[in-house]
Amino acid sequence: QVQLAEYGGGLVQAGGSLRLSCSASGRTFSGYVMLWFRQAARKEREFVALITWNGRTTSYGDSVKGRFTISRDISKNTVYLQMSSLKPEDTAVYYCAARRIGEGEVDYWGQGTQVTVSS
């Protein structure tokens, strides 16, 4: 059974940092793109960042460029999202997801982890 499990959410002050982890299990993710999305209350889900499993390609949403960094550790089957210079508008539930390269639909979702940034 494929599982994506997010860890590391919490409460942080504006300007602070937080690192989210996404532990992937149940299959090999070679050939997959790993993504982070977020959804704030009463807002649409927003793309945050992606990385190919081989690590060669990364991409970021405009609102987080220069502040967030996505990475992965193949030996641990884990994807990370390092978040710095956090702002109150970064407050949201953050979701890890996976889809096959070249496909548009997400195949797997995590359960989400809450990040709250206080001003």
**pLDDT, tens digit (0-9, with 9 covering 90-100), for 27-42:** 999 999 999 999 999 9
Q: Is 88 left (phi over 0), alpha (psi -120 to 50) or beta?
A: alpha
DSSP conformation class of 85: S
pLDDT at residue 9 greater than cutoff 90: yes
**pLDDT, tens digit (0-9, with 9 covering 90-100), for 82-95:** 999 999 999 999 99
Cα(61)–Cα(47) distance, integer angstroms: 6
Phi first, then psi, for residue 74 (nearest 5°) are -60, -40
In the numeric block, which tokens belong to residue 69?
Answer: 């960094």
pLDDT at residue 104 greater than cutoff 90: no
Radius of gyration of the chain (CA): 13
